[in-house]
Amino acid sequence: MIDLPEPQLEQVRQILRRWVPDRRVAAFGSRVRGGARPHSDLDLLVLGEEPLPLETLFRLKDAFEESDLPFRVDVVDQSRVSPEFHALVREQMEYIQ
């Protein structure tokens, strides 16, 4: 379960649907494994074999920064991380889209 109030979770989903509608996205980190504080960041992994175009990645990050979410959202593109990082995240991730 992702530790976010439903209105904030829906806002995250709206941003994801706008910028990466065809990608699976998973949350990981303290918001999934527990121990998150109200202002803890939300870590998101955008899944896909092909790299997310950099312009799309930047626009997605900007959309989260410009939102009124009371916490930071860190976005990671699966194709740009090491297999070791992805293996660690895979054990704790929960799909958000």
The single residue of 3, 22, 41, 68 carrying the catalytic annotation is: 41
CA 14 to chain centre: 12
Task: Tell me the residue type at 16.
Answer: L
62 token code pair? 């900007």
74 catalytic per annotation: no
Q: Burial level of 70, CB count in 10 A (0-12/13-18/19+)?
A: exposed
22 catalytic per annotation: no
Instruction: Report whether 75 contacts 19 (CB < 8 A).
Output: no
Q: Which residues pair with 25 in a beta bridge?
A: 46
The single residue of 3, 22, 43, 68 carrying the catalytic annotation is: 43
User: Which residue numbers are catalytic?
Assistant: 41, 43
